[in-house]
Structure 1
Amino acid sequence: MATAAEWLEGARPRTLPTGISPVLAGTAIAWWYGQFDPGVAVLCLVVALALVVGVNFANDYSDGVRGADDNRVGPQRLVGSGAADPRTVRNAALGCFGMAGLAGLAAVSITGYWWLLVVGVACVLAAWFYTGGRHPYGYLGLGEIFVFVFFGLVAVGGTVYLQLGRVPAAGWASACGIGLLACAVLVTNNLRDIASDTAAGKRTLETRLGDRATRWLYVAIVLLCVVCALAVAALTTWWALLALVALVLLAPACRSLLAGATGMDLVATLKATGQGELLWAVGLFIGIGIGLLT
């Protein structure tokens, strides 16, 4: 039986990078335009981490009670493995969403951008109904859209806006890069689960595309992230190309997928992809810093 620690270890490739990366990338852009606010950045980080941990718990709960995790490959989830009571996991998700709400309320009270509370509510609803409710959109092949919009455009754009009061073109290019890499994490996760998702009636984009097309989708996403890094660099400083250090992890991941990696090999690719997303953001942040100091 899987323990909570084992589940969290399996969730970490998505949880930490997808929470930290958009805030780092967004703060880098705000910094470039002279409006770096450490306090607001920390609150944005709390919101992002609480939301991504909350959506992991919510997915664990909803997929578990539906039986979608009964034949999961790799680290087991709490509900699907029987390691935790479903109500406990559901309450953990709601607690995380509540924490995100409080941090978001603090951020908008400092900046005065109260309309962003509507965006925050949309984030929570999108997180819950990804696999929750009667008609979860994650079961309809729309998960990548959710991830790109909320963990890319909204998370990065919101971080920039709260500090700068606007989102310049470089901010949107950065948001697209982070959103695409977050999608790459989901694509890898769902590629690993094609067989179990198909059996459970979970019609993800990957079950619709099939194994081979999904692997090429991952490669296309990585290439688009390179384009996004180039766009950010052209709009700010060429030092921003340090974001491409992420290819140290993402290029081998592409080779592994195209070579036909399956099972636990895909778990390793999932971890490398999450780390690559974080490295993209760290490289961008450091590059922006160097550009400002030179």
Structure 2
Amino acid sequence: MLNRGKIKYYVAAMRLRTLPLSMAGVCLGLMLAVADFHVRWEVVLFTLLTTVCLQILSNVSNELGDFLRGTDSGDRQGPSYSLSGGKLEKKDFSRMIVVYILLCIISGLLMLWFSFGTLFCVESLVFMALGAGAIMAAMKYTLGRNPYGYRGKGDFYVFMFFGIVSVAGSYFIASHEMFWRMLLPAASIGFFSVGVLNVNNIRDMSTDAATRMTVPLRIGEKWAKVYQTALLAAGWVCMLVYSLLRIQDIWHYLFVLSLPLFIVHLHGVWTRSGKTLDPMLPLLVMSSFIFALLGGLGYLVYLFI
């Protein structure tokens, strides 16, 4: 039975503050699809639910993997975690991982069923393969014998799954159409997502040095901050180019209203280091989420005016 005294620690282990980042790409892809096509609400619902389950699976797996490797030591720079703080045990996390794998599979299959009407068409099979890859990527960041997060390869996987697969994949699932220009907003969210990972790694440089090799540790703090600036700039350029390629409408540039948030974030990155960088993480997460919502709303507004 579920120990009621542990419920708040289970919730803490989900790291709900990370959900807006994973939702950003999916929301943008779905909103752009709704703007262009008729979309079933069931597809929207289960796409969002699958995304939430994948993100929580990633968070729980990440905490367990870091704990097993001794990364979450007492002097870590970020917030305290349920496992390293002794609030939950390894078996609790193992159970959570199994539960969220099952939820990902069930929700993902329902998403495909409502979208394509069958689980045995080419499109469904392709997305099943992508889903299996997403589950593996969520778990293998810090878990397993050779986790890619400890080898400085997290940036690539974050870009692909939080950006390309998230935006372009959700757009296709909802609309059954794909255009090459969709790679631009997908890349935009991908760059911002890598930026979140990069700030996290800059913050943790002092504690990560003994256990993993991240991009900031490879190139140094100064160049990691240059890299951060380049990531955000690339994200903005991609979305601006996408808007320029579409039929011109001032509403398509609604996302520009989020620019001050990114400026504040970059100022914080360049003027802080170590643990003081922690507030810059949720700031970039929410900035990316607001950017995505405004970007999608800019194409939906014609439905309401």
TM-score, length basis structure 1: 0.92
- Counterpart of 1:76 in structure 2 is 80
Amino acid across the alignment from 2:58? V
Amino acid across the alignment from 2:254? L
Question: Out of 173, 176, 179, which is 2:184 matched to?
Answer: 173
- Counterpart of 2:294 in structure 1 is 283
- Counterpart of 1:119 in structure 2 is 130
Q: In structure 2, what is the Cα distance between the partners aligned to 1:227 and 1:76?
A: 36
Q: In structure 1, what is the Cα distance between the partners aligned to 2:250 and 2:152?
A: 37
Question: Out of 23, 32, 42, which is 2:35 matched to?
Answer: 32
Q: In structure 1, what is the Cα distance between the partners aligned to 2:92 and 2:13?
A: 15
Structure 1 segments unaligned to the other structure (5+ residues):
none
- Counterpart of 1:65 in structure 2 is 68
Q: In structure 1, what is the Cα distance between the partners aligned to 2:222 and 2:169?
A: 35
Q: In structure 2, what is the Cα distance between the partners aligned to 1:241 and 1:254?
A: 21
- Counterpart of 1:19 in structure 2 is 22
Does the 8 A contact of 2:32 with 2:300 survive in 1? Answer: no
Question: Out of 84, 104, 110, which is 1:106 matched to?
Answer: 110
Tell me if 1:255 matches 2:255. Answer: no
Q: In structure 2, what is the Cα distance between the partners aligned to 1:228 and 1:93?
A: 35
Alignment RMSD (CA, Å): 2.0
Tell me if 1:51 matches 2:54. Answer: yes
Residues 196 and 264 (structure 1), Cα distance of their counterparts in 2 relative to 1, 3 Å cut: closer
Residue 7 of structure 1 and its aligned partner are, at CA, apart by 4.1
Does the 8 A contact of 1:23 with 1:41 survive in 2? Answer: no
User: Once structures 1 and 2 are overlaid, which stretch shifts more, 29-38 or 83-92?
Assistant: 29-38
Q: In structure 1, what is the Cα distance between the partners aligned to 2:284 and 2:16?
A: 11
Does the 8 A contact of 1:153 with 1:175 survive in 2? Answer: yes
Residue 291 of structure 1 and its aligned partner are, at CA, apart by 4.4
- Identity percentage of aligned residues: 25
User: Once structures 1 and 2 are overlaid, which stretch shifts more, 78-87 or 155-164?
Assistant: 78-87
> Number of residues paired by the alignment?
289
Partner-residue secondary structure (3-state), 2:276: helix
Question: Out of 186, 189, 192, which is 2:200 matched to?
Answer: 189
Partner-residue secondary structure (3-state), 2:279: helix
Amino acid across the alignment from 1:206? P
Amino acid across the alignment from 1:107? M
Residue 209 of structure 1 and its aligned partner are, at CA, apart by 1.6
Larger Rg: 2
TM-score, length basis structure 2: 0.89
Does the 8 A contact of 2:205 with 2:274 survive in 1? Answer: no
Residue 109 of structure 1 and its aligned partner are, at CA, apart by 1.3
Structure 2 segments unaligned to the other structure (5+ residues):
1-7, 117-122
Q: In structure 1, what is the Cα distance between the partners aligned to 2:296 and 2:27?
A: 6
Amino acid across the alignment from 1:143? G
- Counterpart of 2:252 in structure 1 is 240
Does the 8 A contact of 2:149 with 2:214 survive in 1? Answer: yes
Residues 263 and 5 (structure 1), Cα distance of their counterparts in 2 relative to 1, 3 Å cut: farther
User: Once structures 1 and 2 are overlaid, which stretch shifts more, 234-243 or 133-142?
Assistant: 234-243
Tell me if 1:151 matches 2:162. Answer: yes
User: Once structures 1 and 2 are overlaid, which stretch shifts more, 233-242 or 79-88?
Assistant: 233-242
Residues 97 and 211 (structure 1), Cα distance of their counterparts in 2 relative to 1, 3 Å cut: same
Q: In structure 2, what is the Cα distance between the partners aligned to 1:102 and 1:249?
A: 37
Question: Out of 266, 269, 281, which is 1:270 matched to?
Answer: 281
Does the 8 A contact of 2:13 with 2:82 survive in 1? Answer: no
Runs of 4 or more above 6 Å deviation: none
Amino acid across the alignment from 2:44? A
Does the 8 A contact of 2:252 with 2:298 survive in 1? Answer: yes
Amino acid across the alignment from 1:137? Y
Q: In structure 2, what is the Cα distance between the partners aligned to 1:218 and 1:36?
A: 36
Residue 91 of structure 1 and its aligned partner are, at CA, apart by 2.1
Residues 8 and 58 (structure 1), Cα distance of their counterparts in 2 relative to 1, 3 Å cut: closer
| Deviation sequence 1:129-167 (CA, Å, 0-9, x none) | 111110111111000111110111111111111111122
Amino acid across the alignment from 1:249? L
Residues 133 and 257 (structure 1), Cα distance of their counterparts in 2 relative to 1, 3 Å cut: same
Amino acid across the alignment from 2:262? L
Residue 103 of structure 1 and its aligned partner are, at CA, apart by 0.9
